[in-house]
Structure 1
Amino acid sequence: MPRSRSPFRPHEHDVLFGVGGLLAGLLLYALDLRNSPAAFGLPGWLSLVALFVMSGAELLRRTAPQLGLTIATCALALDILSGTLVTTVLMFSDLVYAAVLYGSPQAARRIPRDCYLITALITVGTLVGFQDSAALLLGFATAMITIVPAWTGAIIRTHREAAQAARLEAERTALLAELDRREAVAAERARMARELHDMVAGHLSAIAIHSTAALSLGDPKATHEALGVIRENSVQGLAEMRRLIGLLRDASGDAEPTAVPTLDGLSTLLARAERIGADNGLSFALHDERGAGPARPDQARPDQARAAAPDAPRPT
């Protein structure tokens, strides 16, 4: 989250506005392009004071907009009394806009109402005081430098707040969707774990019962049947474990491939069975009755591999 700026550290764009307005106002003053003569015999150079004060208020348009508008109002009053410079009036309009856009929510609601009230008072007061319909032009000019920028700032602020609310709602929706997905994955994994436990426990229970029977009974036929049941339950339990472990790997997004049994481990499996069976007087032998067939791809010689796939590119 970005840190808020200090009022004594203006935004870069505000510095450009202030310096640009100051330079334009100095040019207009040098060319003696002022809208009206000074009132009450005030010296014309006071409009320069108002210009400098207004340019300084522009530096506060983002960091302290309400303070900047207060200073600008005083500077505008001084500018009107000492001969109006257009640049000073334009900078005041910009500060009204900035106070609505960047100010507090209370200021954003209050400033447009104040602009309506000030415009109405100036228009009615001028009409009553001078009894001239030209006062309507003064009211229109007042509305242009107060109501119009206040409206503009309020509209842009409303759109920004709506966009921010929509962005927050989208982030909240995405977060809820992610939480739902994680809960669904966790529930599915828990269901698979229960299923794995139930099936493997059933197979292991059957193996334990029939192995006990095979050890306690002296009937070779019953022992053979019990060993057959033990083998069947062992194979089924192993198959179920492999299936569910594969599903759990897919659900967790594990990129590591599952272990696939190959014939390369057959000799190791046979040696392990011989060691385990030696304690019980059992022996194991492997009888491969398969005919001579084509060699597996991993055992084929390079020249045989090229002969089987003539279109394959030759190694260089």
Structure 2
Amino acid sequence: MPFPRPHRDDVLIAAVCLLGGLLLWSLGVHTNGPYAPLPSWVTLVPLVALAGLELLRRTMPRTTLIAGTAAVVVDPFTPGSIVSLLMFADIVYAAVVYGPPASARRIPVTTGMITLAVTIGFLAWLREPSALLIGLVTGLVSFGPATTGAIVRNHREAAEAARLRAEQTALLAEMDRTQAVVAERARMARELHDMVANHLSAIAIHSTAALSLDDAATTRQALTVIRENSVEGLAEMRRLIGLLRDSSGDAEPAAAPTLAGLDALVEQARTNGASSGLTFTLHDVRERGARLPAPVELAAYRIVQESLTNAIKHAEEGEVLVEVSNDGGCALTVTVTSPFGRRPGPRAPGSGAGLVGMQERVALLDGTFEAGPAAWPAPGTGKIWRVRAELPVPDDKEPSA
């Protein structure tokens, strides 16, 4: 095991203390007077030993304290040096500050008990008030530094805990910000897809029909539908951009669509899907006068809109049925069925983002969503593609007293 490299501050402390102790020894300045049992040169033994131990006060605090205690016990039998006592006090302080937590708890208690025992013992032995000075000196070089070290360590640990809490708070804030950005981007993606995909799908289908069919009437009808969807899609894009910007200029942000616009939405689908042999029917059996939260109405509207867009792009000839109901007022149910199968003629490509967007909208409201092929209620009539979403409606009524 390599010898630990001392800290540069510890090297400076050791050097200053050793030089100061040698200077006081050379001048004959001692703490115990000329009546010590050991000669003067023995004073240098604990002085040099404690100066060497100062080099290890951070890296080996417990070992330093044990060896320093043995060295300072020798000092009372020599003429003594005040520098040796100061270095031992610093070693006690370092053992509490840099030692393990168990030592930091035990050393102040142990030094306090030693100080009390020394004071009582010398009082009982000498039977003079001056024996209190011995206990005071013992407390100053042991219990005092240990208590100071415990206070400093507690402050350091509290500061470190505060720093860690600040870092955790900053990390949580960054995670919240990232999640908010991701959620906002997902919401923007859903809105952009739902607002524009319907018009672009109609444009793609009718432009393909105009290019593939050499008929003037069909071409003129297709171009009319293309123009209408282009204008409406551009208006939708402008409204979306206005919502995303801090200021949309002179135009006010458009209100979110509601279920009151389902008739217009289905009528637009009839125009866009006429060339594909599709018919569209709306059955709105909601209770009249029932009010729904804005998020529920927006989600239901977008689900119908995306389902009609998918029907125009993929459904074979037949009827597309839209059903909206709110049985009991506890949930809003939206069901869209369309003929399932491959149809001849032009088709618009799909990316699957529409189904993902519908699932996300329903999940945000804690509802249930299902989409896939199913059998017609009447046997032997083929399959249908069914989209069904059940959106919970919160009960906003005040509880009765």
Tell me whether the two structures share a fold, i.e. TM-score over 0.5.
yes
SS of match in other structure, 2:56: coil
| Structure 1 residues 246 and 91: CA distance shift in structure 2, 3 A | farther
Q: What aligned pairs does 1:203-218 form with structure 2 within 5 A after superposition? A: 203-208=199-204, 210-211=206-207
Q: Is the 8 A contact 2:37 2:77 kept in 1?
A: no
Deviations 1:75-106 (A, max 9, x none): 11111111220010011111111111111111
1:106 pairs with one of 102, 108, 125? 102
Task: Tell me the residue number matched to 1:56.
Answer: 52
The one-letter amino acid paired with 1:184 is A
Which of 193-202 and 48-57 deviates more? 193-202
Structure 2: distance between partners of 1:47 and 1:212: 106
The one-letter amino acid paired with 2:38 is L
Task: Tell me the residue number matched to 2:188.
Answer: 192
Q: What aligned pairs does 1:246-257 form with structure 2 within 5 A after superposition? A: none
Task: Tell me the residue number matched to 2:158.
Answer: 162
TM-score when normalising by structure 1: 0.69
How far did 1:21 drift?
A: 0.7
| Structure 1 residues 14 and 213: CA distance shift in structure 2, 3 A | closer
Deviations 1:53-96 (A, max 9, x none): 01001111111111111111111111111122001001111111
Query: Does residue 80 of structure 1 match 2:76?
Result: yes
> Counting strand residues as a fraction of each chain, which structure ranks higher?
2
Q: Is the 8 A contact 1:47 1:85 kept in 2?
A: yes
Q: Is the 8 A contact 1:101 1:153 kept in 2?
A: yes
Q: Is the 8 A contact 1:93 1:146 kept in 2?
A: yes
Structure 1: distance between partners of 2:229 and 2:128: 108
How far did 1:196 drift?
A: 2.1
Task: Tell me the residue number matched to 2:63.
Answer: 67
The one-letter amino acid paired with 2:30 is R
Query: Does residue 134 of structure 1 match 2:130?
Result: yes
Q: Is the 8 A contact 1:189 1:248 kept in 2?
A: no
Structure 2: distance between partners of 1:197 and 1:172: 37
Task: Tell me the residue number matched to 1:148.
Answer: 144
Deviations 1:263-316 (A, max 9, x none): xxxxxxxxxxxxxxxxxxxxxxxxxxxxxxxxxxxxxxxxxxxxxxxxxxxxxx
The one-letter amino acid paired with 2:228 is E
Which of 209-218 and 85-94 deviates more? 209-218
Task: Tell me the residue number matched to 2:40.
Answer: 44
TM-score when normalising by structure 2: 0.55
Count of matched residue pairs: 244
| Structure 1 residues 239 and 80: CA distance shift in structure 2, 3 A | farther
Query: Does residue 10 of structure 1 match 2:6?
Result: yes
Q: Is the 8 A contact 1:50 1:88 kept in 2?
A: yes
SS of match in other structure, 2:151: helix
Query: Does residue 124 of structure 1 match 2:96?
Result: no
| Structure 1 residues 100 and 32: CA distance shift in structure 2, 3 A | same
1:181 pairs with one of 150, 158, 177? 177
Structure 1: distance between partners of 2:36 and 2:136: 24
The one-letter amino acid paired with 2:15 is V
Structure 1: distance between partners of 2:179 and 2:241: 19
The one-letter amino acid paired with 1:198 is D
Deviations 1:97-154 (A, max 9, x none): 1111111111111110111011011001111111122211111111111111111111
Query: Does residue 89 of structure 1 match 2:85?
Result: yes
2:18 pairs with one of 22, 32, 37? 22
State percent identity of aligned pairs: 56
| Structure 1 residues 241 and 7: CA distance shift in structure 2, 3 A | farther
Q: Is the 8 A contact 1:101 1:157 kept in 2?
A: yes
> Counting helix residues as a fraction of each chain, which structure ranks higher?
1
Deviations 1:183-215 (A, max 9, x none): 111111112222222223211333255557767
Quote the RMSD (CA, aligned, Å).
Answer: 2.9
Which structure 1 residue ranges, 5 or more long, are not aligned?
Answer: 1-5, 251-316
Which structure 2 residue ranges, 5 or more long, are not aligned?
Answer: 247-401
Q: What aligned pairs does 1:250-289 form with structure 2 within 5 A after superposition? A: none
Structure 1: distance between partners of 2:174 and 2:19: 55
SS of match in other structure, 2:40: coil
Q: Is the 8 A contact 2:36 2:79 kept in 1?
A: no
| Structure 1 residues 79 and 249: CA distance shift in structure 2, 3 A | farther
| Structure 1 residues 186 and 35: CA distance shift in structure 2, 3 A | same
| Structure 1 residues 103 and 7: CA distance shift in structure 2, 3 A | farther
The one-letter amino acid paired with 2:95 is A
The one-letter amino acid paired with 1:119 is T
The one-letter amino acid paired with 1:85 is S
